[in-house]
Structure 1
Amino acid sequence: MSATEMDQEAVIVGGGFYGAAIAIYLARQRGFKRVVLVEREPALLMRASYSNQARVHNGYHYPRSFTTAYRSRVNLPRFVRDWPNAVKQDFTKLYAIARRNSKVTAKQFERFCREIGAKIQPAEPALRALFEPRLIEDVFLVEEYSFDTTRLASWAEHELKETGVRVRFDTRVIGISKRANGTLAVAMQHGEGGKELISCRYVFNCTYSGLNQFEGDFPGTHTALKHEITEMALMQMPTELQGLGITVMDGPFFSIMPFPARGLHTLSHVRYTPHLHWSDRQGIDPYLKLKQYECLTRVDRMLRDTGRYIPSVLGARHIDSLFEVKTVLMKNEADDGRPILFEKHPELPGCYSVLGGKIDNIYDVLEKLDAEPFQAIANQGQEVSGATHV
């Protein structure tokens, strides 16, 4: 390994939305002067930050987890305020409750929305007419948005440059270890080239599905993780559905959401979106598993089932499918909870692992970071005061 060592205050591993936001936070709010962000792809926000429903949640999705729902309800207006150019609001959002096999009734859903303070009202007849009444109990007009990942990536690129964060693209972190002087050593590999070592005080592991794929002294996360290879179908919707976002719940669960980055809609289905799943463990690289997987679309099955509830969706045209690894906390498999993972590793002081299940979780992460007494190398142990917002 070529020993190109340099002292950094922090290394952020992963250039998705979370990694970029944490790097910007450290530089702008905590006064870090030497921050490096390492991303294995050639650009920012190319993996899980892009290949998802692009939904800014407002709590409706989580009727069986009040905490997750309420946090989304609180975070949505903050997200709209902080990233207004990336948020798409000019569409009508509907939630419909299935008559059979739903885990929540229409009355329960309406009561739940009022408990978390989320706007809800009966849909007008013209919108209700889109649904098959024998299968749908009720339809509600709600307030929920989507986001444009390409605009978030432009924001991140600008802010990283403005705050002086160095970004290393096409570079993979392969190991994290302790050094004798109490700092951390981060081993990196650029493309197929040689290996490089960076010394730093803090490491933020924001690699999402790759959280546990490091050599050296990295102990792995205490929280058990589950991976899924998922398919997000990108559809050209028929005219009557183009200005809509629709979610049918809560058993026969599927969603049609605007996907601003491509000017299309995503179609996802609780049964057909997950293709393959496995428990996380070191040595099984999720990204290699995805690369080796034969990504055959299940959009025909998605459409066939969705069309029973919304007949006009059968006129949609499949344009593309986004296949990606989705990672969730195993402890929340049985409920709607989507808490963040925020782990400090006592065996590796200064190393943090961070994972969020949805984009608005970023505020939960920033609150955790606000509580950390970071000590910058340049300040010789003096604490740098925190702040709340990116």
Structure 2
Amino acid sequence: MPNSSITKDAVIIGGGFYGSAIAIYLARQRDFKRICLLEGESDLLQRASYNNQARVHNGYHYPRSFTTAYRSRINLPKFVRDWPQVVKADFTKLYAIARRNSKVTSKQFQRFCHETNAQLEPAGPKLKWLFEPRLIEDVFVVQEYAFDSRLLADWAHTELREAGVDVRLATRAETIVEASDGRLTVFACGADGAHYPIDTRYVFNCTYSGLNQLGGSFPGTHTRLKQEITEMALVQAPPELEGLGITVMDGPFFSMMPFPSRGLHTLSHVRYTPHLHWDDERGIDPYARLASYPRETRVDRMMRDVARYMPAVRHAKYVESLFEVKTVLGKNEADDGRPILFEKHAEMPGCFSVLGGKIDNIYDVLEKLDAETLVPASNQSSC
């Protein structure tokens, strides 16, 4: 890779779903002609975009955060409309309310769904029979979906190629430096180990857990971030549970969701999925910390506890676990809300940091971008 400077209208750092979608938005909606997307992995959508529950939320999960629930209710129909090829809807989704240790009762959950206009039906006897009645107060059938991250990656590859985005895989952005005229230079390290600068007017930092690991003039996020090493167990569901997605609310409980890209189910548990957590700060590379973590599975503890509520899970077959770093906003630890982080860095105009809490949050990001005055340098002569 040559060391001479490359000039782009925008550089996107991070080739997950958010970085890819922002690059496509800039090309399609804002007429950016010269866009470069840098991704440290060998392919797109390999980290948090893949290693997650693959749930398209419809608000049910957030009775303690009305704003998050409301945005999910608005965004889910849009996501189904815009990415129908990745959405899996051929399963029945159940939400069950625990009798003890839940932060929400059945009546409160029903009231919450009524207030958010979320579809809710009592589960029939055959579905309720799957749960231990001494521990579960009520069971409801809801409208919620899963997505296939592999198909989403295929979409990103196709759209980025057709939009003419310069995608550089196995390439790590290391520093951002601001020039006296306000232009920015991203210094990147390519797959061959060569370092080179990219001059640009706009930088979109979409590195998820790595938001604060860029050097140079980059100021870091003002919002406090919390990092967690999490385990998502992949299991082969027994026949009784195969066509179901299940969430028990709202406390130290669990979810079991279809994972379309593998034809399996994810099993996650509020108590056992988080292995380790810390406040994000520069100098503590979350991905390096994950790489050195021993990754000892807690699936036995998950399944023992889940089986108390849903005995059929004893016949599930454990396949493997997906370990990843999950990043959340520190201010939402109490209410479990999942708003986006969208910071325009006043210290470095033209630089934005973006963090999405859920896949459907992409529309919240695009609304923020719609409100920004973004003029690519290659178009200035005609403006």
Q: Secondary structure at the match of 2:232?
A: strand
CA distance in 1, matches of 2:119, 2:42: 40
Give matches, 1:1-390, under 5 Å.
3-191=3-191, 193-380=193-380
CA distance in 2, matches of 1:64, 1:220: 29
1:3-45 deviation digits (Å, cap 9, x = unpaired): 4212110000000000000000000000000000000001100
* One-letter amino acid of the structure 2 residue matched with residue 351 of structure 1: C
CA distance in 2, matches of 1:289, 1:52: 18
1:84-136 deviation digits (Å, cap 9, x = unpaired): 01000000000000000100000000110011011001000000000000000
CA distance in 2, matches of 1:70, 1:48: 23
CA distance in 1, matches of 2:301, 2:379: 59
Q: Does the aligned pair in 2 maintain the 1:23–1:37 contact within 8 Å?
A: yes
CA distance in 1, matches of 2:42, 2:256: 30
Q: Secondary structure at the match of 2:62?
A: coil
Q: Secondary structure at the match of 2:328?
A: strand
CA distance in 2, matches of 1:314, 1:379: 61
Q: Does the aligned pair in 2 maintain the 1:27–1:35 contact within 8 Å?
A: yes
RMSD of equivalent CA atoms = 1.1
TM-score by length of 1: 0.97
Q: Secondary structure at the match of 1:84?
A: coil
TM-score by length of 2: 0.99
CA distance in 1, matches of 2:31, 2:90: 38
CA distance in 2, matches of 1:291, 1:380: 44
CA distance in 1, matches of 2:150, 2:15: 13
Return structure 1 stretches of 4+ with deviation > 2 angstroms.
379-383
Q: Does the aligned pair in 2 maintain the 1:98–1:252 contact within 8 Å?
A: no
Give unpaired runs (5+ residues) of structure 1.
384-390
Moved more, 371-380 or 11-20: 371-380
CA distance in 2, matches of 1:50, 1:379: 35
Give % identity.
69
1:292-336 deviation digits (Å, cap 9, x = unpaired): 000010000000000000000011010010000000000100112
Q: Secondary structure at the match of 2:360?
A: helix
CA distance in 1, matches of 2:30, 2:186: 22
* One-letter amino acid of the structure 2 residue matched with residue 318 of structure 1: Y
Q: Does the aligned pair in 2 maintain the 1:340–1:361 contact within 8 Å?
A: yes
> Aligned pair count?
383
Q: Does the aligned pair in 2 maintain the 1:96–1:137 contact within 8 Å?
A: yes
Q: Secondary structure at the match of 1:62?
A: coil
* One-letter amino acid of the structure 2 residue matched with residue 52 of structure 1: N
